Amino acid sequence: MNNESSFKNILLVEDDPRDVELTLAALAEHNLANHVVVLNDGEQALDYLYHRGKFALRPGGQPVVVVLDLKMPRVSGLEVLASIKSDAALKTIPIVVLTSSREEPDLLQCYQLGVNAYVVKPVDFMDFMSAVKSLGVFWAAVNEPPPRRPARPPAPETPAATQEVA
């Protein structure tokens, strides 16, 4: 059976089009690029994972891994990581931070939040391609994921507006 829910999808959350292009090219060398969902900011990533907004009716379950940049508009990678790892329905999804940040506070905070891997984007083209290929092959082909999670985790509740009763 070759339906979308049987694919080992990778969720790539990256706002730099050049890094998206390089990442997809590296994954394509191992036939993994056709299973990559690319989103450009953290808000979209959370909507995708929680089946909200334009992703409310998306088919399939959760990705086998999330490759996440830290410095993004709207909702940062750190906020996305914190949200995923604090949610019982999502916290078993492996998160790989792929970032240009070599800042020790970013590294420490990511591990404190539960990141599975922290990779600094190599500057050299061939090193970048090699690093991404290794990540893709390991997380999508070698790593054994936990048993299937429910396709649609409940979205976090937003506090209800308080009303005064007269």
- Confidence check: pLDDT of 159 > 60: no
87: domain range?
A: 4-142
CATH number of 47's domain:
3.40.50.2300
Q: Is residue 157 part of a domain?
A: no
Q: What's the number of domains the chain is made of?
A: 1
User: What pLDDT does 47 receive?
Assistant: 96
CB 26 within 8 A of CB 129: yes
User: What pLDDT does 3 receive?
Assistant: 40
- Residue 111 CA to residue 116 CA, distance in Å, equals 8
Q: Is residue 96 part of a domain?
A: yes
Q: What mean pLDDT comes out for the span 52-70?
A: 90
Enter the pTM of the model: 0.80
CB 95 within 8 A of CB 116: yes
- Confidence check: pLDDT of 1 > 70: no
Length of the chain: 166
Q: Is residue 19 part of a domain?
A: yes
Q: What mean pLDDT comes out for the span 111-138?
A: 86
CB 132 within 8 A of CB 27: yes
